[in-house]
Amino acid sequence: MDRRNFLSRAGVASAAAAGLAAPALAQGAPKLNWRLTSSYPKSLDTLYGLSPHVARRVSELTDGNFQIQVFAPGEIVPALQALDAVGNGTVECAHSLGSFYVGKDPTFAFETSLPFGLNTRQHIAWLTYGGGNQIVNTFLKTYNVHSIPSGNTGAQMGGWFRKEIKSVDDLKGLKFRIAGLGGNILSRLGVVPQQIAGGDIYPALERGTIDAAEFSGPYDDEKLGFHKVAKYYYFPGWWEGTANVGLYVNLDKWNALPPSYKAALETACSEALLHCVAKYDHNNPDALRRLVEQGAELRAFPQPVLEAAFKEAHAFYGEIAAKNPTFKAVYEPWLAYWRKEQLWFRIGEQPFDNFVARQQPPGK
């Protein structure tokens, strides 16, 4: 055989093989560049920090082929327009809170948490094993969005008030920044709820545009400086006994992702969720101590206030369910799950927690 002809044929064969292999590789690991907008200001290193964490881990898990660029509120869209920006394709994804969008449909609250609802562990269990995440994403299809649990604040505080709340009557006429369905419930007790993005709360409280504000817990609240303009710090934050943050992904973009990229996103979000809960549990105790040292006065909501709010909450849920079939379809199985979880926690968790919290080990 002529050596030159053999090499020529071999070269053609190699080129053909390469031509066949390259598209297969490209299909399996395409180069993607996405944009992610956050609903949280950069000063909140834990909540905003979810976004660069997910972006970094997705890049690492895909050998740099899947890149996500992170933007703060206002750099592309305002904080409370993140959901719409994802749904209409302005950005591919966003970190945001379902409770911000209850004005569109109260069913959004289930993804975040309901007032007097599940605690953090119970909520994660509902999303992961109780069918919650499937229910949430069935609902979100209407908005062309797919959500992945990606963070959680844990239990929250009840907010900052300029004056003490000694009775239900003290709530009447109170202009209170509060997200989610908590505002609807408090409005039934005379509160005037205000929906304000996290970065805009301080000036509103400082100017007296609002009388009180809640956001998260001590670690975030300290960063936002609320203790400088309102000294009474109330607990518990019954309207958000937990708060799940979702990574909202444009549904068309999600469906088009290779399976390995979907797995990378889900893995990165699971890690971010774990780190978020742990970081808040680690930092909140020290932040609470610092706030008290700077003049914050801790107050527990009076029992009659909590009981009145609980009663109004469940009356409100019943009224929504009666006229909103979507809400009802989620609420009924969610309520059954809530009852099941309370039974176990009353026996297995709360007695241990309550006993240990009251003890003082010997020594310093």
Q: What is the pTM for the complete model shown?
A: 0.89
Cβ-based neighbours of 249, under 8 Å, separated by 6 or more: 86, 92, 93, 145, 146, 147, 148, 265
| pLDDT by position in tens, the chain (length 364) | 444 443 444 444 444 444 444 444 445 689 999 999 999 999 999 999 999 999 999 999 999 999 999 999 999 999 999 999 999 999 999 999 999 999 999 999 999 999 999 999 999 999 999 999 999 999 999 999 999 999 999 999 999 999 999 999 999 999 999 988 999 999 999 999 998 888 889 999 999 999 999 999 999 999 999 999 999 999 999 999 999 999 999 999 999 999 999 999 999 999 999 999 999 999 999 999 999 999 999 999 999 999 999 999 999 999 999 999 999 999 999 999 999 999 999 999 999 999 999 998 887 6
Query: Nearest Cα to 200, choosing from 70, 80, 64?
Result: 80
Distance, CA of 68 to CA of 55 (rounded, Å): 5
What domains can you pick out in the chain, each with its CATH number?
A: 31-154+242-282 (3.40.190.170), 159-240+294-327 (3.40.190.10)
User: Mind listing the pLDDT tens digit for each residue in 218-251?
Assistant: 999 999 999 999 999 999 999 999 999 999 999 9
Q: What is the 3-state secondary structure (H, E, C) of 286-342?
A: HHHHHHHHCCCEEEECCHHHHHHHHHHHHHHHHHHHHHCHHHHHHHHHHHHHHHHHH
